[in-house]
Amino acid sequence: MRVHLKTLGCRLNEAEVESWAHDFDTRGHTIVDEDGAPDILVLNTCAVTQGAVRKSRQLIRKTHTKNPKAKLVVSGCYATLNTEETVSLDGVDLLVNNQQKDQLVDLTLDAVDEVTMPSIATEPNASSLFVRGRQRAFVKVQDGCRYRCSFCIVTIARGDEKSRGIKDIVEEVNALHAKGVSEIVITGVHLGGYGSDINTNLYHLIEALLKDTRIPRIRMGSLEPWDLPQGFFTLFLNSRLMPHLHLPIQSGSDAVLKRMSRRCKTDEFRQIIKEARHHIPELNVTSDIIVGFPGETEEEWQQTLTFVNEIKFGNLHIFSYSKREGTKAALMANQVNDTIKKKRSKTLHLLSETLKEQTMNKLLNNSCEVLWEDAQPADAAGISTISGYSPHYIRVQTTTRQPEQLTNTITPVQLSTIKQGIFITDQLG
């Protein structure tokens, strides 16, 4: 059968989709794009914000409309938190909740063998990866979180922490490398808490990946700035571990962080960044900020702006707070009105752009290695534009007459020009 997989949301969702693609592929089924007349469609939904909920519903409807004859399987946080609503949507044949995700392929194939698929289940091979247009593989190492930030619905949808064994992860990474993957991203809901349930930690996992695999580049996904094991940053002395960390702080005000039930306050974050930059030359630190959290005063907002400017983040993911039913924050008093949130968001976006430019200027004219990924169709002169990422996770672009030979290779370049937030380097080949 022909299978097409889609995902919304976080890198963990992407890792799950890649794992399902591998499992379908190894059982003899073909991974195709949406125009490849799929027999089965698998959607991994998101519920991190109300916008993500809306997009998940829209994706389900749009996908069914475009492929009405295909069997539609829906999973993910939106589907798990909104079971009745999901199965009521036209075209949904099977719902697999988050607790069943490791069984999704079995449940799907079992259901397809039946005359009629049930409404609700009761209880990355590189070839498939490349078919999906990816040169970077996401590797899920843990799920769930033992903490309950007051704004977060994901921990409710994902449940308690559950880590994979190091041996299993090493085997997956070696298999990906053998199939041609050059870069992996380690992902989890609470990545810093990896191993809390199996008597190990993130340091030992990364140490094993550096020792027992030869994959050229290793990155980490979003990493909450607590529970980091002792000596963690010394691992980055190995150049295969990329000098980029995404450490979500969410606010630069300790009073707001307290209302958020965050476990890392601003002084602790400062110390973490100081230690990280001491051990990791050219480290690019990015983060998340929530704008307009309930009760956020003008003074608290100014504290956030000052803190962001002090840390010099290389980039920010900026979210205007939106109520999520089922979270403590949704019940808090003094909800900030949309006009104030929009104004603050615009101010923070401008600051973020300035800080990103400063980060890039520090790297300008330096040499680094780039993994080339996405090539555009050639122009009339036979020249194609291709892009990839520096070790610092900043996009780099060049032109080439040989995009097929350059794609999924790592080559040294000089970061010679900046244009619209992208490094431009000389034509290659």
pLDDT of 119 reads 34
Task: Reply yes or no on whether the pLDDT at 397 is more than 70.
Answer: yes
Mean pLDDT of 290-296: 97
Mean pLDDT of 78-96: 92
pLDDT of 291 reads 97
Mean pLDDT of 266-281: 96
Q: Is there a contact between 394 and 246 (Cβ–Cβ < 8 Å)?
A: no
Of residues 310 and 30, more confidence is placed in: 310
Band (pLDDT 50/70/90 cuts) for residue 113 is low
Task: Reply yes or no on whether the pLDDT at 127 is more than 50.
Answer: no
Of 121-130, 159-168, 268-277, the range with the lowest mean pLDDT is: 121-130
SS3 219: strand
Identify the CA nearest to 392 among candidates 318, 317, 319, 315.
315
Mean pLDDT of 41-63: 91
Of 105-119, 273-287, 333-347, 407-421, the range with the lowest mean pLDDT is: 105-119
pLDDT of 303 reads 98
pLDDT of 156 reads 83
Mean pLDDT of 45-74: 91
Of 121-130, 269-278, 297-306, the range with the lowest mean pLDDT is: 121-130
Task: Reply yes or no on whether the pLDDT at 363 is more than 70.
Answer: yes
Identify the CA nearest to 59 among candidates 71, 43, 48.
43
pLDDT of 124 reads 37
In 227-384, which residue ranges form alpha helices assigned H by DSSP? 254-260, 266-279, 298-311, 338-363
Task: Reply yes or no on whether the pLDDT at 159 is more than 90.
Answer: no
Task: Reply yes or no on whether the pLDDT at 121 is more than 70.
Answer: no
With a CB cutoff of 8 Å and minimum separation 6, the contacts of 88 are none
Mean pLDDT of 377-396: 94
Phi and psi dihedrals of 112, rounded to 5?
Answer: -65, -30
In 67-163, which residue ranges form alpha helices assigned H by DSSP? 77-81, 83-88, 104-112, 126-131, 154-158
pLDDT of 134 reads 60
For 244-254, write each residue's pLDDT tens digit. Answer: 999 999 999 99
- Distance separating alpha carbons of residues 312 and 309, to the nearest angstrom: 5
Band (pLDDT 50/70/90 cuts) for residue 11 is confident
Q: How many helices (H) and strands (E) does the chain have?
A: 14, 19
For 208-242, write each residue's pLDDT tens digit. Answer: 999 999 999 999 999 999 999 999 999 999 999 99
The tokens for 158 are 């994902």
Mean pLDDT of 279-301: 97
In the chain, what percentage of residues exceed pLDDT 90?
Answer: 77
